[in-house]
Amino acid sequence: MEFVLLIFLPVIFALFVPLAYKRIKGIHTGWFVLLVPLVLFGYYAGFLPLVMDGGHAISELQWIPSLGIVFTSYIDGLSLLFTLLITGIGSLVVLYSVFYMDSKKENLGSFYVYLLIFMTAMLGVVQSDNTMTLYLFWELTSISSFLLIGFWYTKDKSRFGALKSMMITVFGGLMMLGGFILLNIMGGTFSIRELIAQAPELANQPYFMLALVLILLGAFTKSAQFPFYIWLPDAMEAPTPVSAYLHSATMVKAGIYLVARFTPIFGSSSVWIWLVTGIGLLTLFWGSFFAVKQTDLKAILAFSTVSQLGLIMSLLGAGAISYHTTAAIFSFATYAAIFHLINHATFKGGLFMIAGIIDHETGTRDIRKLGGLMSIMPISFTVALIGSLSMAGLPPFNGFLSKEMFLESMAALQHFELYNFDTWGILFPIVAWIASVFTFTYSLYFVLKTFIGQKKFEQLPKQPHEAPIGMLAAPMILASLVIIIFFIPNLVGKWIIKPAVMAVQPTLYASPSAVDIHVKAWHGFGSVGLWLTVGVIVFGTLLYLTIPKWQPFYRIQPDRLSLNAGYDALMRGSERGMNRVSRLYMTGKIRTYLLYMFAFLSVSIIAVLFIKDAFIVDMNSFAAITLYGVLNGLVLLLSVGFVVFAKSRLAAIIALGGVGYSVALFFVIFKAPDLALTQLVIETVSVALFLLAFKHLPALQTHGETASHKVVNLIVSLSVGVMVTLVALSSHSQKLIPSISQYYKDTVATEAGGGNIVNVILVDYRGFDTLFEIAVLAIAGIAVLGMIRLRVSRKEPTDENK
Amino acid sequence: MEFILSILIGVLFTAAVYLILSRSLLKVILGTGLLSHGAHLLILTMGGLGGSAPPVLIDGITDFADPLPQALILTAIVISFGVTAVILVMAYRMYAVHQTDNMNELRGNDEHD
């Protein structure tokens, strides 16, 4: 079987969800949906032995073969790890949502359709080997995330959060697309594997740095790195299963995946190491620092997610150093990143579910109203405590192992003697350590303020009680994983992490078993990590105990200087600015638009004439000047002057007639009898028509035109006149090919049997022109008749205009 | 001769554009009239003003004026006449309905802004 089709299994299943939702009322729709991630998880788990031996599997489905765009399912260590996360946590989230989402109150049909679309999109992102399909699925995750955040679309905050996340992630997605296209230009292929094979040549290409920055922008916006993290806290308006799934375990890790996947291509660049490590650490610190400020349970978790993503990101950056040095500690960093990624998915998913349970059972997520829930919700408390302590980095939980590895990697950075790391490197462990202290503090803050302390049940909207066991099942499974992984880290390492590390750094290892790392909980008293952890616990506890004293300091930062205010100002400002700009030039007055057109036309044509040296006057090709011609020219000039400067409309009309008759005289002088005839007749009729119509029109008025208006008009009209004269002179002087008219002159008698060449051209050689000219006249006649006869009274303003 | 005609055409275009840019509806229509005259003369001039006889076959004469521009202008004259007629009636109706010939006041509905 082509297992690439499995990517589309969720979205195909989604087609039947509304049917099940409408027809089968008795059973919660989630139970049917649960089948999909379970089946996928089981199937993909079957790849574990293959990947463990360093192998990979690939399955392709041609989409646009002429452009080299293929749907691929490429399973190696890294994509298998993410696939298992997506399907595994996906199953638990669906199970949780069965109990969380009320089948009577919520529109479950849409909910599960969006969720399944998201699942397909996410599987596509992590399994695509083709950058174009990777981008396709990437944007599909943005769209389905938008739909899920705005699920309760009647709430303003949901719509705001959905729009914000959409704007930011789609911005990053587009940047990433630019990076992919540059990679294609440089490497000539969309396939990531083939690009990785060319990595050394790519590094010398001119677009290399631009592609690097663009792709990192995509990863940073998706993974909520500084300063793009601002969409994540607002995305907490989504239903809690969505927050647990998308905004902690899977979608926000798409950026991490991207960085890990492209490390073999860009990792050798110092910009990559500095940006990924630096931004990651900054995000880690920023997120952990502001998490303690939050009062909403989900907001605390959102900031904590931001900070943990920063941690993983900085480890990936440090891991890329292993391209420059053989020190084992840096390949150790990649291992730590992937290990922490798994750990974070387990404990953060569980914590989100607990936050949802608290919300569900007490009616509020405000930490100031909660307290003392321990005795009432013992199971939730246990799960929350396990998750929080793992997040804080305490034994015996998996967070301890990865946090200790993180601190050791950061401490090692200062010994790296390239790219100024030996001068600035000392900052890395310091920032990392301070951030870890804050992490410890907010972990305690989250769990203790909620479950311990004063009971304030009278403030709660609902009387609290323990959640049903079905709702607790998923977080309990995750919490037990947290503990299990602590005790068997090397088994997880052998099965999942080492193949993934090999995928991130394929040139360094021959097979997963060559990754020489053995995780231990106890490194002896000599290890740096141990003492750093002890420091974290001591200072973190101190900070937690003194929270009431220093939390008010957060208020020093004014709201209008925050990043959110910056985003709002940008959105509002661009809307207003664009509005102002378009109002500036779209005045609604026809004169303004005509000025633009005439000025542009004359200036551009005159400029082209002189830039291209096209202005040439060849007097030899001109016909001789005749007396009649000059006299008639003077008459024409005079009449034009009268038309322009006439004070009464009658004078203007007669002067216009004068222009027409002198044009007719020119036709006589230049041997065009038919034209002269037509011009005389038409001019007469026109003047009559003008007189007829002007009888009903008001006298000539200036309508308060100012002198400056007139000067501008004069300048523009003069430039148009000059332009026409120059074009006429130079085009007449440079005829490149002879006229076709000789053919008409030669054949008019023999082919058409006529003597008047103009008339024969009109009805024989070019009869079609004449046919449609007649049509124009007929339409004009009908229009005139219609406008005179139809008496449609002005309608009252309709509702649309109100 | 072409030199003089080119300048005359330039003057016609200048006058036409100047009138079209004014605020009075009547002047705009007068301007379009001048513009079409200028265009017709331009076509004629570009075809070349040489030629000693009208383009009608008469034995013994070969130096005709160029017939093709003349045919084009004939078509253009008729079409511009049709358009002028429509514009005139339109101006008449506009004045009848809106009671103004000030182009600045003919700006559509503010509701559509």
Minimal CA–CA distance to A309: which of A355, A256, A257?
A: A256
B53 contact residues in A (CB cutoff 8 A): 671
User: Sign of the C-alpha dihedral, residues A740, A745, A747, A753?
Assistant: positive
Find the mean pLDDT for residues A637-661: 91
Q: Over range A755-769, report the average pLDDT.
A: 92
Q: Examine the pLDDT at A123 and tell me if it is beyond 90.
A: yes
Query: Does residue B73 belong to the interface with chain A, where contact is any CB pair within 8 Å?
Result: yes
Smallest CA–CA separation between A577 and chain B, in Å? 16
Reported confidence tier of residue B90, pLDDT bands at 50, 70, 90 = confident
Q: How far apart are CA A384 and CA A397, in angstroms?
A: 13
User: In the prediction, which pLDDT does A341 show?
Assistant: 93
> B35 CA to chain A: closest CA distance, Å?
11
CA distances for A208 relative to A278, A314, A738, angstroms: 20, 21, 54
Confidence of residue A738 (pLDDT cuts 50, 70, 90): confident
Task: Tell me the shortest Cα–Cα distance from A665 to chain B, in angstroms.
Answer: 11
Output DSSP code: residue A579. Answer: H
The string of pLDDT tens digits covering residues B8-54 is 999 999 999 999 998 888 889 999 999 999 999 999 998 888 778 88
End-to-end Cα separation, chain B, in angstroms? 51
Q: Please, which pLDDT band fits residue B108 given cuts at 50, 70 and 90?
A: low
Whole-angstrom distance, CA of residue A33 vs CA of residue A12: 12
SS3 A421: helix
By Cβ distance, the residue of B1, B66, B74 closest to A624 is: B1
User: From the list B3, B17, B84, which residue is nearest A716 (CB)?
Assistant: B17
Q: Please list the alpha-helical segments (H only) found in chain B.
A: 2-20, 25-47, 67-98
Inter-chain touch B15–A717, beta carbons under 8 Å: yes
Cis bond before residue A227 (omega within 30° of 0)? yes
Instruction: Please state, in angstroms and rounded to a whole number, the distance separating the CA atoms of residues A116 and A123.
Output: 11
- Strand stretches in chain B, DSSP E: none
Write out pLDDT tens, residues A460-496: 777 777 788 889 999 999 999 999 998 888 888 888 8
The answer to whether the beta carbons of residues A330 and A305 sit under 8 Å apart is: no
DSSP letter, residue A589: -
Residue A97 has pLDDT above 50, yes or no: yes
pLDDT band (50, 70, 90) for residue B110: low
Q: How far is C-alpha A349 from the chain's CA centre? A: 26
- Identify the pLDDT of residue A558: 67
State residue A58 phi and psi, 5-degree precision: -145, 140
Count CB-CB contacts under 10 A for residue A468. Answer: 12
State whether A787 and B89 contact (CB < 8 Å).
Answer: yes
Task: Tally A–B CB contacts below 8 A.
Answer: 281
What pLDDT band is residue B113 in, cutting at 50, 70 and 90? Answer: very low
**Is pLDDT above 70 for A327?**
no
CA distance A338 to A634: 90
**CB proximity A86 to B under 8 Å:** no
Task: Write the pLDDT tens digit of every residue in A142-200.
Answer: 999 999 999 999 999 999 999 999 999 999 999 999 999 999 999 999 999 999 998 88
- Predicted pLDDT at A560: 66
Q: Mutate which of A757, A760, A779 to test chain B, going by most B C-beta atoms within 10 A? A: A757
Mutation to test the A interface, candidates B4, B29, B30, B105, most A Cβ within 10 Å: B30
d(CA A221, CA A232) in angstroms, rounded, equals 10
**Cα-Cα end-to-end distance for chain A:** 61
CA nearest A173: which of A141, A149, A210, A151?
A141
What whole-number distance in Å separates Cα of residue A767 and Cα of residue A241? 74
Q: Please judge whether A717 and B92 are an interchain contact, meaning their C-beta atoms are less than 8 angstroms apart.
A: no
Average pLDDT, chain A: 88
Q: Which residues pair with A70 in a beta bridge?
A: A62
Contact B73 A757 (CB under 8 A): no
CB-nearest to B55 from A757, A769, A776 is A757
CB A76 within 8 A of CB A499: yes
The answer to whether the Cβ–Cβ distance between B55 and A660 falls below 8 Å is: no
**CA–CA separation, A511 vs A517, rounded Å?**
13
Quick check: B98 contacting A, CB < 8 Å? no
Average pLDDT over residues A720-729: 94
Q: What is the pLDDT of residue A494?
A: 86
**ipTM at complex level:** 0.94
Residue whose C-alpha is closest to residue A165's, from A101, A82, A246, A96: A246
pLDDT top residue among A329 and A398: A398
| 572-631 of A, contacting B, C-beta below 8 A | 588-591, 594-595, 598, 617, 619, 621-626, 629-630
Q: Residue A275: is its pLDDT beyond 50?
A: yes
pLDDT for A521 beyond 80: no
**Are B102 and A770 a contacting pair at CB < 8 A?**
no
The alpha carbon of A778 is separated from its chain's Cα centroid by a whole number of angstroms, namely 53
Distance of alpha carbon A394 from alpha carbon A447, whole angstroms: 14
Task: Choose between A153 and A105: higher pLDDT.
Answer: A153
Query: For A556, which DSSP code?
Result: G
Say if residue A511's pLDDT is above 50.
yes
Quick one: pLDDT at residue A370? 86
Does B35 contact A at CB distance below 8 Å? no
Task: Name which residue leads in pLDDT, A516 or A580.
Answer: A580
Residues B10-23 have pLDDT tens digits of 999 999 999 999 88
Q: In this predicted structure, what is the pLDDT of residue A507?
A: 79
Alpha carbons A747 and B57: distance in angstroms, whole number: 11
pLDDT for A797 equals 52
Give the confidence band of A43 by pLDDT, cuts at 50, 70, 90. Answer: very high
Query: Greater confidence, A792 or A448?
Result: A448
A633, A663, A773: residue with CB nearest B79: A773
Residue A598, token pair as written in the block = 């005439």
Q: Which candidate, A631, A515, A731, places its Cα nearest to that of A77?
A: A515
C-beta of residue A29 within 8 angstroms of C-beta of residue A17: yes
Answer whether A665 touches B (CB < 8 Å).
no
Please say whether the beta carbons of A330 and A409 come within 8 A: yes
Whether A545 shows a pLDDT value over 80: the answer reads yes
pLDDT value for A623: 82
Beta carbons of A598 and B17 less than 8 Å apart: yes
Distances (CA, A) of A624 to A619, A620, A628: 10, 10, 12
Q: What is the pLDDT of residue B111?
A: 46
A419 pLDDT band (50/70/90 cuts)? low
Judge contact between A75 and A56, C-beta under 8 A. Answer: yes
Residue appearing with tokens 């229509």: B29
CB–CB contact B85 A728 (8 Å): no
Query: With contact defined as beta carbons under 8 Å apart, do A302 and A283 qualify?
Result: no
pLDDT score at A573: 92
Mean pLDDT of A380-388: 93
What percent of chain A is predicted at pLDDT more than 70?
95
Q: Which amino acid is at A230?
A: I
| B27 near A CB under 8 A | yes
**CA atoms within a 13 Å half-sphere pointing along the CA-CB vector of A446:** 36
List the beta bridge partners of residue A74: A58
Report yes or no: A244 and A352 within 8 Å, Cβ to Cβ.
yes
CA angle B97–B81–A791, rounded 5-degree value: 25
Chain B residue whose CA is closest to A662: B37
